[in-house]
Amino acid sequence: MAMRGRISVESRGDAVAITGTIDETAGLPELLGLAREHRLVLDLGGIVFINSLGVRDWIRMQGAARRAGIAVELRRVPEPIIHQLNMIIATRGRARVTSFFAPYACDACGREDSLLIDAVVHARALARQEPPAAMPCADCGGEMAFNDFPERYFSFLSV
């Protein structure tokens, strides 16, 4: 595992897993050096926070990937990054999101969770901006329903 500013970077299968905070110290474009055969898979499940300077670094990484002909795949994209992808179109670049976290809430007990959605398996429903069906609540076994506006939360998938 290598530390870069406030993120740590490690190999996880065919992916590069980064965890921590993406800010002015991240140096994300340098991650492109870890691409294999013009493909870079980023596992973002451990990212807890990204600030505006981190967003700028992220956009630079996307631009550098495009110029270098590197295809970027994003896995387990957490909510803080989804919010940026939805707010700032430039953050999307040409990256392909294959899985991401989304907010769910249990009507029965009130538990809120961030649950993983497979964007490939659910591609057709997501294209219609329909969230996957209810998932079981870890606390009470009740049904957890998607807890945001689908047209807003899934808008990053439309470009």
Sequence-separated (6 or more) residues with CB below 8 Å from residue 102: 79, 82, 114, 115, 117, 131, 146, 148, 153
With CB under 8 A, what is the number of residues at the site for other proteins? 33
Nearer to other proteins, 35 or 145 (CB): 145
Is 27 a binding residue for other proteins by CB under 8 A? The answer is no
- In a 10 Å sphere around its CB, with 0-12 CB exposed, 13-18 middle and 19+ buried, how is residue 31 labelled? buried
Is 108 a binding residue for other proteins by CB under 8 A? The answer is no
- Residue 94 and residue 107: Cα distance in Å, rounded? 37
Q: How many CA atoms lie within 13 A of 113 on its CB side?
A: 18
Is 98 a binding residue for other proteins by CB under 8 A? The answer is no
What are 36's two structure tokens?
Answer: 């294999």
CA 89 to chain centroid: 14
Is 45 a binding residue for other proteins by CB under 8 A? The answer is no
Is 148 a binding residue for other proteins by CB under 8 A? The answer is yes
Among 4, 5, 32, 135, interactor with other proteins by CB under 8 A: 5
Is 152 a binding residue for other proteins by CB under 8 A? The answer is yes
Is 112 a binding residue for other proteins by CB under 8 A? The answer is yes
- Residue 116 and residue 144: Cα distance in Å, rounded? 13
CB 153 to other proteins: min, Å: 8
Is 89 a binding residue for other proteins by CB under 8 A? The answer is yes
| Residues forming the site for other proteins (CB under 8 A) | 5-6, 21, 23-25, 48-53, 55-56, 59-60, 63, 79-80, 83, 87-90, 103, 105, 112, 114, 146-149, 152
